[in-house]
Amino acid sequence: MSDGAFDRIALIGLGLIGSSIAWAAKRAGLAGHIVGTARSEQTRETSLRLGFVDSVAVTPAEAVEDADLVILCTPVGTYGALAQEIQDTLKPGAIITDVGSVKTAVVRDVGPFVPEGVHFIPAHPVAGTEYSGPESGFAELFDNRWCILTPPPGADRGAVDQLTNFWRRCGSNVDFMTPEHHDLVLAVVSHLPHLIAYNMVGTAADLEEVTQTEVIKYSASGFRDSTRIAASDPTMWRDIFLNNREAVLEILGRFTENISALQRAIRWGEGDALFDAFTRTRAIRKQIIEAGQDTAEPDFGRTARKAPTDKTS
């Protein structure tokens, strides 16, 4: 039985997710050596200083040399070019995976560049915050969250087990789906809520008769929670919408129909219809709490969290 540990792990991208994987892998003793690379020298230097990587490489091709596990942790729009760049230096028998928030496009963009004898197993840890960069990561990010793997048909059983155990020991629960189903589920639970939050906050910013100071002063009445989501990284979210177009448009169509029904109920004073719609949604919140994916504490159960500042935190 595989133990999920690797002699050498290469992380391409050292932001929130890359750094959190490194912290979680170190916490569980899953890596003999972690080498990281990022676009900027500043991110590479910060990562070394914080200590979640053991070494850094200037180029992705150099980073993956001799690595047993390669994890793409950059925005999804970069994956195709990165896969092309590293294809000749991937070690035979290595596992290449990713953390991208969409999966069909990742299979399309990375798949053609995976050499024979290298195991490509796409993955998506469904955990995050609105923060970015190497200082935002922490070991507990994946604890009790789900990581979805989308192994292609005929994927090597041993490699899938090894990656499954890696994620389990990083704290995650692991689930399996096809890339298409993943993209539809995520369009519902993540992509549409982000689109709505971006639009809601953008709409408030455009209002002329309600001042910006009023919006901020009274934000605790609901708006504030949308601003947290709408503060998420613009590059990452641009890439998600461009790469999950079909599923997002499908769910957006249904959302638009439902909002029209609510609009109509408000216009015609149909109180029962509004009451029924709001009662149904309350039950979903209760189920999320029962499944341990949030707490019933006020303020959505969020507590202030400090990014780790050294190896031991």
Residues that bind ligand NAP (CB under 6 A): 12-18, 38-40, 43, 73-76, 78, 99-101, 125, 128, 132-133, 233, 236, 240
**Closer residue to ligand NAP (CB): 131 or 255:** 131
Dihedral through CA 201, CA 206, CA 207, CA 210, nearest 10? 70
Q: How far apart are CA 27 and CA 12, in angstroms?
A: 20
Instruction: For the CB of residue 121, give the shortest distance to ligand NAP in the complex, in Å.
Output: 16
Instruction: For the CB of residue 74, give the shortest distance to ligand NAP in the complex, in Å.
Output: 4
Both tokens of residue 257? 């129909």
Both tokens of residue 237? 């979210």
**Closer residue to ligand NAP (CB): 181 or 262:** 181
Instruction: For the CB of residue 76, give the shortest distance to ligand NAP in the complex, in Å.
Output: 5
- Across the strands, what pairs with 101? none
Answer whether 186's CB lies under 8 Å from 244's CB. yes
Give, in order, the Cα–Cα distances in Å from 3 to each of 7, 32, 65, 162, 267.
12, 13, 22, 7, 59
**Closer residue to ligand NAP (CB): 68 or 109:** 109
Instruction: For the CB of residue 43, give the shortest distance to ligand NAP in the complex, in Å.
Output: 3
**In what helix (H) or strand (E) does residue 12 lie, and over which residues does it extend?**
strand 6-12
Instruction: For the CB of residue 37, give the shortest distance to ligand NAP in the complex, in Å.
Output: 6
**Closer residue to ligand NAP (CB): 193 or 212:** 193
Helix 271-290 / helix 245-267 crossing angle, nearest 10 deg: 140
Instruction: Tell me the residue type at 130.
Output: E
> Which value, in Å, is the radius of gyration of the alpha carbons in the chain?
21
**Closer residue to ligand NAP (CB): 38 or 251:** 38
Edge-to-edge strand list for the sheet holding 123-126: 123-126, 146-149, 173-176
Instruction: For the CB of residue 252, give the shortest distance to ligand NAP in the complex, in Å.
Output: 19
**Closer residue to ligand NAP (CB): 91 or 191:** 191
Q: How many CB atoms lie within 10 A of CB 170?
A: 26
**Closer residue to ligand NAP (CB): 4 or 13:** 13
Instruction: For the CB of residue 195, give the shortest distance to ligand NAP in the complex, in Å.
Output: 15
Instruction: For the CB of residue 81, give the shortest distance to ligand NAP in the complex, in Å.
Output: 7
Which one, of 167, 191, 180, lies nearest residue 24 by Cα? 167
Q: How far apart are CA 201 and CA 199, in angstroms?
A: 6
Burial of 146 (0-12, 13-18, 19+ CB in 10 A): middle
Give, in order, the Cα–Cα distances in Å from 208 to each of 104, 136, 201, 211, 214.
41, 35, 14, 7, 11
Instruction: For the CB of residue 57, give the shortest distance to ligand NAP in the complex, in Å.
Output: 10
Instruction: Tell me the residue type at 200.
Output: M
**Closer residue to ligand NAP (CB): 132 or 162:** 132
**Closer residue to ligand NAP (CB): 47 or 164:** 47
